[in-house]
Amino acid sequence: MTEFLLEVRCEEIPARMLQPGMRELGTRMFEELMARHLAPRTVKSAFTPRRLVLILEGLADREADREERVVGPPVSAAFDAAGEPTRAAEGFARRCGVEIGELETVRTEKGEYLAATQRTEGRATIELLAELTPRVLAGLGWPKMMRWGAGQGPWVRPVHGIVALFGGKVVEFELFGVAAGNRTSGHAWLSAGEFEVENGADYGRKLARRRVVLRYENRLQRIREQMDKLASAAGGRVVEDEALLDKLACICEIPGVVEGGFDSDYLKLPREVLVTSLRDHQSAFGVEAEGGGLLPVFLTVMDRPDDPEGRVRAGNEWVVAARLDDARFFYREDRKVPLGERAEELRQLTFHARLGSYAEKSQRLVQLGAVLCDSLGRAELKEEVAAAAGLLKMDLTTEMVKEFTSLQGVMGGVYAREEGADDSIWQAIYDQYLPASTEDPIPQGPVGQIVGLADRIDTLVGIFGLGLKPTGSKDPFGLRRAAQGVVRIALEGNLAIDLDLIAAKSVQLYADGLELRGKEILEVWRPFLFDRVRYLLGLEGYAYDEIEAAVAVGGTNLPDVKARVAAIHSVRDEKGFLPIVLSAKRIANILKEGSEESFREEALVESAERDLHQAFQELRKNTERAEAKGDFVACLRHIAGFADVLDRFFVEVLVMDENTELRNNRLALLQSIQRVLSRTAELTRLVVDKGEYRDE
């Protein structure tokens, strides 16, 4: 078993492309080898900004020999009446590389056919690697590619060198005019000289000697440790930002951390502005004191172990000072115009070319916010919601947001706070884009949650109303994220509202601006919303059939839907619940093609059906009482307790009696029972194994 070492050296690859590109390279090489029955025992990968490294261990030296049966022409066409081979038989034998006498006859569904056994000698693995490696490398799906030199490429960046060794021997191929060999180099500036390598272990040792850290995880750990040490020495701790730490680990080969300082006067800027400026312009972390305030210190990465002459520090400090000066200028300019006086500027900003400006959107949000307050029975919040909704998008006109788009909403909240707005109002503006992911919290407080819902519903209804919706991986308007936000806010904020009714009101607020009718929009809105419901409830550990059983009952009161799912999850394994599920399925099968019948109590003749009717009356009262309290667990337990009397009915009574009057009356009773059994959840959607019932 032999090792394959591959290294591609190139100019710096953007940090965001490195990990996906490396994963694709490893996956595609593994799949290509698997298809040839050459699966490696282990796959190791590493990367730096200037090199991709793949080590496949435990590869066989060659492919196994293969035998394959090839079916040719029918026997009737392969031989003439005298039994002599025809040109069809001769051509088939020649194509398979065998003599006619070596051909076999095989019987198929279509009759007898000639067949030949082709034997293929396995190729040497080193030959296969020379063939497939450049093809895989050239076919990697980088988001952006370029050409260079005399038109080489396209690839993510110009290639400068390739190491390809199988068992210590060079795998001979070229990629974009660069021949594979056994020579690599160290750091581009600190140890640029070339050197030979023999295998993966030798390659790793020699790079380590030149202080190159190949593994991303090791660079990440080293950066984190150095930053924590420097921050502690400065009297504080690093401001957490995992995305920035990930980026820094991807932009260096020799991870070193440089500390810099800036004028403490810049600390008068809002914390969000200072931290964002350091991150976006200089890929630098802020440092905060134990009390939470920022210190005039920043930390970033340099692609070298130290800075003996202080030039790296000085350069970073110069750039940081210039950027913070810009930020201070933007901040001072923005503060000259209060948020409430920016309405005219907001009219110049287009929400969507066919849906009007952000000023029009703001007006809709004020009205939709009032509808939400009424639906929730929180009329006392209307004034605060209206104030927050009216200011929600105003910061889009500010210089700070034009410079740092990631501060949308945040700056509006900061400016509103500094202008003396109530806490609930500025916090609602600040939180308006939360949650942006499944890890983010929802907006704080009911005002923020109501405004956040209104904003997302308005967007979803408007875009759906134009006949637009996401397709495949493309979602240019962020509708999936918006719908997920609606679901999370409604569930985690426990906002018991009918989202269909709110969406219908949103359609009305657009007046005649939409191309689709309200009903058509809601037909798109509802399944799109419930796709997110299924996803999020699935993340919480609920089974798909539990979710489907609750969703099928109807309604877009999401806390209610979740409570039903939780109830099913809670009772489905209780003794006695499985029989009622099976009975519900049986009733559904009986009624599958039946029409609505009229029930008459006096038409009940058998004791089992009279007892069933009496038990059903009690069940209906109990379930109505439990459901009115929102106690769906109790409701399902009442339904489970109905199983015995229902089983007795099916054993002793023939539902499909020849007597039409008896049959129709029994069907009518089952129809009424089915409606009650399905009030809390559609039990027929639950997946059960009848063997479980027999085991009981």
For CATH 1.10.3210, the residue range(s) in the chain are: 351-540
Mean pLDDT value across the chain: 93
Quote the pLDDT of residue 597. 72
Pairing of the two strands 159-166 and 178-181: parallel
Task: For domain 562-695, give the CATH number.
Answer: 1.10.730
pLDDT band at 555 (very low <50, low <70, confident <90, very high): confident
Interval 411-424: pLDDT, tens: 999 999 999 999 99
For CATH 1.10.730, the residue range(s) in the chain are: 562-695
Neighbours of 105 (CB within 10 A): 10
Domain spanning 351-540: CATH 1.20.120: no
Query: Are residues 513 and 464 in contact, defined by beta-carbon separation less than 8 angstroms?
Result: no
Show the tokens assigned to 686.
Answer: 């639950």
pLDDT band at 690 (very low <50, low <70, confident <90, very high): low
Quote the pLDDT of residue 261. 97
Q: Taking 50 as the threshold, does the pLDDT of residue 478 lie above it?
A: yes
Cα atoms in the Cβ-side hemisphere of radius 13 Å centred on 623: 22
Phi-psi region of 475 (alpha: psi -120 to 50; beta: other; left: phi over 0): beta
**490: nearest Cα among 450, 522, 528, 527:** 450
Query: Are residues 98 and 88 in contact, defined by beta-carbon separation less than 8 angstroms?
Result: no
Quote the pLDDT of residue 694. 43
For CATH 3.30.70, the residue range(s) in the chain are: 2-62+124-209
Distance in angstroms (rounded) separating the CA atoms of residues 43 and 58: 9
Quote the pLDDT of residue 364. 97
The whole-number average pLDDT for the span 544-548 is 95
Interval 445-476: pLDDT, tens: 999 999 999 999 999 999 999 999 888 778 88
Amino acid, single-letter form, for residue 508: Q
pTM: 0.83
Q: Taking 60 as the threshold, does the pLDDT of residue 38 lie above it?
A: yes
Spatial CB neighbours of 371, under 8 Å, sequence gap ≥ 6: 502, 505
SS3 call for 224: helix
SS3 call for 416: helix
Strand segments, DSSP code E, in 11-110 are 42-48, 51-59, 66-74, 104-108
Distance in angstroms (rounded) separating the CA atoms of residues 295 and 154: 46
Angle, CA 569 vertex, CA 547 and CA 579 arms, to 5°: 100
Quote the pLDDT of residue 72. 87
Cα 292 vs. chain centroid, distance in angstroms? 33
φ, ψ (nearest 5 deg) of residue 152: -65, 155
pLDDT band at 594 (very low <50, low <70, confident <90, very high): low
SS3 call for 329: helix
Quote the pLDDT of residue 64. 82
Distance in angstroms (rounded) separating the CA atoms of residues 493 and 449: 7
Interval 176-218: pLDDT, tens: 999 999 999 999 999 999 999 999 999 999 999 999 999 999 9
Task: For domain 2-62+124-209, give the CATH number.
Answer: 3.30.70
The whole-number average pLDDT for the span 372-387 is 96
Peptide bond into 154 cis (omega under 30): yes
Residues in the chain: 696
Angle, CA 603 vertex, CA 602 and CA 605 arms, to 5°: 100
